[in-house]
Every structure is written in structure tokens, then in C-alpha cells.
Amino acid sequence: MNGAESLLRTLVGSGVEVCFGNPGTSEMHFVAAFDRVEGMRVVLGLFEGAVTGMADGYGRMAEKPAATLLHLGPGLANGLANLHNARRAGTPIVNIVGDHATYHARYDAPLASDVHGFARPVSAWVYSSASAQTVATDGALAVQAALQYPGQIATLILPADTAWLEADRPAPALPKPMPAIAAAEAIDQAAGALRAGRKTMILIRGAALKELGLNAAGRVAAATGARIACDTFAPRCQRGTGRVEVERIPYFAEQIVEFMNGTEQLILVGARPPVSFFAYPNKPSWCTPKDCKILYLAHPNEDGTVALEALADAVKAPKQPLHVGIARKPEIPNGPLNSLTAGQVIAHYLPNGAIISDEGATAGGGVHRFAAYIEPHDHLALTGGAIGQGIPVATGAAVACPDRKVVCLHGDGGAMYTLQALWTKAREALDITTVIFANRSYAILNIELARVGAGDPGPKAFSMLDLHNPELDWVKLASGMGIEASRATSVEEFATQFESAMKQASPRVIEAVV
């Protein structure tokens, strides 16, 4: 077998089942190996930003890495923004990046580039294979690096000759790294702080935002009255009826300050103290009250769920958690189609077990206020602020969870960054309904323009934030990529279209004109 095949067999043997990719000449031996090796599903993305975002969505839901296949430095560079988002999410991903053959590098051919340089800022692990005989072992190490808890990005650079030259064999899978267990002192300190009776907030991020961790947090709340919160942009949060409700930190600095007001103790579980997304003149960056005591119950590399369960026992919490969401679905509203009414419709029809990939921006937030009272679902947020994540993340999530409905909520501005992933949804026949909120604007930037105090903006400045001329036709864009699509301009139309989309199992796009 050649190096490419030894690497592919190693990835499969290490539990990697899906490769999202966009290949070129230097990756052809790896591509050719796909038909010789059982067990790797291959998913083509038509732009690398779509490829890396899909790997992120897959990893968040499958809790194991997908591979990406990217074409030298420029291919990787096209995928960087969504690798940045994935790094923020703590998603495990193994990037396989092709490169020129080792002996070809000295000729500085057009595609020669500093692949390490592109990879380093987003990768916790980067390595360029030196020989076809070692590439398999390098692959096993890459998977192990990606699985370092809670998950990280490993980039393996594969020079073309290491792929095509003769290899010996695949490498055996390496042990899966496990999360560390939080120190007993951390549990004691948090329990002691809670017993002191001061106003406490427990801020959670990571796997502890799934049912088990939330249940333990709800028990702590029942015993102590502590508030339970999550970041504005948590990678994954389980919400809905029967689950413990989490307060979501608001977006703007002054709202966060108000939200945190009165908090005397902040207990962090895989999270960091909340800060403002951006700095603004005369507004705070640090949003935790000055004299608030900060305690780390579990660091991101530690098992937050186990720590919360130990804390619940330490404070002698009852079995029954507080703040359990009770079914209270909103009715279909009247009035114009906007963020709130669209949110009500989505909340009303969202099926049990749905996955929401949320890049709804200013228009997508309506569903949040109902999150605890509707069907149980997973919510995936835009973690690193680099827009263009939602459509690919939805696509990857649907590959990971073929039996669940995926609903993607997206601003029209962000959607244009990686709309190529719509084509992949059609090709793979994925059960995803994508709602594009067509406000024909970079609406959030209009708000930010006023907030940053940039003087007196004129027509040129406003034109940089406006998408009216020409108007994007999402029905044509989506149907041009093989997806059934419709446009809704009223609540009635949106409700009818969304309801029917929830009943079908094929990809759908709804342009919601808000």
C-alpha cells in the first residue's frame, strides 16, 4: 500500500468515519485511496470555508473528529475562518492538507506556500509528514491530538510523495485522551462559597451544557439558589422541556453588566468570565462586578459534568433540580414577520430532538425566549464571531445525526459567505431546513456604527452595510443548487412553509423577508 492508503486506514481504524473535503492535484493519491478503504464517508464541499464549517458541525454533534481534506496552503487558508470558529468551540478536527512533494518544494512552484504558517494559529497540533513509512503514525497522533479534551484542531500536512510512495502498514489507534477530573479542593472551595450564602452564578460551557451537567447544576440551584448561565455563543447547549433552563448571557457589554449585577460569586465550569465582544469607547470590556469572587470549579480540560455532580452532592442538593422547563409552546402569532414572530413560529413547530444551527444574527433571536418551553433540542451557536458558519455547521450536524431534524437560522449577510454548503445539503439529501432572514442589510453593523461613536456617517458608510442593490434572491440561489425553496413575506406564509418543511425529510430553504 502507499502512504495515502496507510494514512486512510489509520484514520478509519482510529474512529474517523467522515472526510469533508475539497481536493486538488497534490491530494489525488489520498482521493484514490477512498475506493480501496472501507469505512470513510466522503463529503464534497465546494469551498473550503464550507468544508471546515461542516467538520465543526459534525464534531460538535458526533463528539469525535471528522477529517478534512484541503489543498495546500491556499485551500487551508480558505477554510481558516471556520477553523477559527471550531477552535473557539473546542471541536475536534483532523485536517489533512496536501502539499507539494518534498523534493519539489525547492522549485517554488506557484502553489508553494507556508502551510505551517497558515495552520499554526488555528491548530493545537501541526506536523508535516517526512516519509510514506511514517505518515500512518503521524495520522494516529493527529487523531489523538484532536481528541485532547474538550477537542482541538490537528493539522497533518501530507507532501504528495509521502502519499504516493510505498508504506509498510497502517498504524494502530492510540488511546483516547480522557477529560481530567476536577480537583477535590475545587469542589470543596465551590461548596464552601455556596454555603456562605452569597449571590452566586454558575457559568457553564462545554459538555456540561448537556442534560446531565445541567441536571446537576439544577440540583445545586435547588439547594443554594445559584443562577445557572451559559455564554452568549456556547458551542452546544441542550435546551427544551424537561431540561434545566439556562440563562443566556446577553450580547452587548452594558447588558452583560446588568445581567451580572449583584453577582458576588462566579463559579466557572469550563467557561471564562464574560467579557464584551468588542471594546467600545467609554464602555467596559470586563463585565463581571469588580468585587465578585471568581472560582474555577472545572477548567475546559476537566469533566464539568462530574464536577457539577460532585458539587451537588457536596451541598447536599435534593435529587430534583430547579428550573426544569415545562411545555409552554407559543401560539402562531399575528402581525408582521419579524424576529419575534418568526421565532414564535419556529418555536411552535420545532420537532423533538431538532438541532438548531444558529447564525440568525439580529433576526434569529426570537426563538431563544421560548427555548426552555419547547421540544427538547440542541442549540449550536456561532462561536468565534466569524460569520458564515451556520450553513456548513448545519450540514455537518446533519451528517453526524441523520435521524434528527436540523434547522439552520441564518442572516442573509452571513449566509453569502458559505452558501456553497447548500449544494452539499442537496447532494447528500440532508434533512435540513434553512431559514434565511432576508433583511437586506448588515443590520448588526448599523447598530455597531452608532455604538462605536464613529462620527456622522454618510451615504458611503451606510452603503457598506446595505444589501438592497441588487436584492439577493434566495429562492433562485437555493434552487440553483438543487434545493426546494420558497419565500415568505408574512407570518401566515412563513408558518405554512415552516410547518410543511418540518414534515418533510429533505433539504429546504425558506427566505423569510423581515
Ligand X SMILES: Cc1ncc(C[n+]2csc(CCOP(=O)(O)OP(=O)(O)O)c2C)c(N)n1
Binding residues for ligand X, total number by CB under 6 A: 17
From 62-70, 241-249, 385-393, 505-513, span contacting ligand X (CB under 6 A) = 385-393
Does residue 394 touch ligand X according to CB under 6 A? no
Does residue 194 touch ligand X according to CB under 6 A? no
**Residue partners of 4: CB distance under 8 A and separation at least 6:** 29, 30, 32, 33, 135, 158, 163, 164
Q: Of the two residues 444 and 449, which places its CB atom closer to ligand X in the complex?
A: 444
Strand partners, 192: none
Q: Which of 488, 493, 426 is nearest to 43 (CA)?
A: 426
Q: 438-453 burial, b for 16+ CB within 10 Å, e for fewer?
A: bbbbbbbbbebbeeee
From 1-9, 149-157, 305-313, 381-389, span contacting ligand X (CB under 6 A) = 381-389
Q: How far apart (Å, rounded) are the C-alpha atoms in residues 443 and 65?
A: 34
Least CB distance from residue 110 to ligand X, whole Å? 26
Question: What residues numbered 221-240 form the site for ligand X, per CB under 6 A?
Answer: none
Binding residue (CB under 6 A) for ligand X from 445, 472, 488, 510: 445
Does residue 121 touch ligand X according to CB under 6 A? no
Does residue 363 touch ligand X according to CB under 6 A? yes
Does residue 449 touch ligand X according to CB under 6 A? no
DSSP 3-state assignment of 403? Answer: coil
Q: Of the two residues 213 and 366, which places its CB atom closer to ligand X in the complex?
A: 366
Sheet holding 293-298, edge to edge: 247-248, 227-230, 200-204, 265-269, 293-298
197: left (phi over 0), alpha (psi -120 to 50) or beta: left
Q: How far apart are the first and last CA of the chain?
A: 56
Binding residue (CB under 6 A) for ligand X from 362, 420, 486, 497: 362
Q: What angle do CA 439, 443, 444 make, to 5 degrees?
A: 145
Q: DSSP letters along 27-71, please?
A: GHHHHHHTTTSTT-EEEE-SSHHHHHHHHHHHHHHHSSPEEEEEE
- For strand 153-159 and strand 125-128, is the pairing parallel, antiparallel, or unpaired? parallel
Binding residue (CB under 6 A) for ligand X from 439, 478, 507, 508: 439
Question: What residues numbered 63-82 form the site for ligand X, per CB under 6 A?
Answer: 81
Q: List strand residue ranges (DSSP E) for 162-224, in order.
A: 200-204
Does residue 501 touch ligand X according to CB under 6 A? no
Binding residue (CB under 6 A) for ligand X from 420, 441, 486, 497: 441
Least CB distance from residue 412 to ligand X, whole Å? 5
Does residue 413 touch ligand X according to CB under 6 A? yes
Binding residue (CB under 6 A) for ligand X from 23, 325, 414, 507: 414
Q: Of the two residues 85 and 215, which places its CB atom closer to ligand X in the complex?
A: 85
Question: What residues numbered 8-47 form the site for ligand X, per CB under 6 A?
Answer: none
Residues at the contact surface with ligand X, assessed by CB under 6 A:
81, 361-363, 385-387, 411-414, 439, 441-445
